[in-house]
Amino acid sequence: MIAETQIEVLERVLRELLAEHRTLVTLAERHREALRNADGPVVTEVSLERDRVNERIVALNAERIEITGAVAASLGANSERVTVRTLIESLGPARSARLTALADELRDAIEATRREHSILRDATAAFAGHLGGVLSRAVELCAPARTYTAAGRVAVSSTLPGALDVRH
């Protein structure tokens, strides 16, 4: 028999996971805007906040696994193979419908998070590549003699003296 408190805890954990994943989507939007504006401090701030949200998601997932295992044990099922969906199906229709809707929202939020962060990963890589090129060119142009490239190789177009004294 499943205790009502176990289902309430499961529902609370699912709601908190949903909120955290929605926060990740919002943070991805802020990160993308910061990249557009080349605002390094905001990128750093968003990255640190995303780390904190990810830590909360890890903790909530651990709690979800624990409560799912406890509910599975009370049903006499194998706690390692039972899913939230399986548990929801074993509940009454009213509670089942509410938890199914919540689980569907969570799945959609997780997919949105994955999609946004995939786009963000590509944008960040492009931005970092652009900055690397700019820095490499700046180092090359600022080198006094331009004898060596930024990679430390002899430059193909080394600066040569404009006049040579060949009398000696």
| Single pTM value for the model | 0.71
d(CA 72, CA 92): 16
In a 3-state reduction of DSSP, which class is residue 148?
strand
Per-residue pLDDT of 79-128, as tens digits, reads 666 777 777 777 777 778 888 899 999 999 999 999 998 988 888 888 78
Beta bridge partners of 148: 154
Phi-psi region at 106: left, alpha or beta (left = phi > 0; alpha = psi -120 to 50): alpha
- The CA-to-CA distance between both ends of the chain, in Å, stands at 104
Per-residue pLDDT of 127-165, as tens digits, reads 788 878 887 777 767 666 666 666 767 666 645 555 555
The answer to whether 24 and 32 have CB atoms below 8 angstroms apart is no
> Phi, psi (5° rounding) for residue 148?
-120, 150
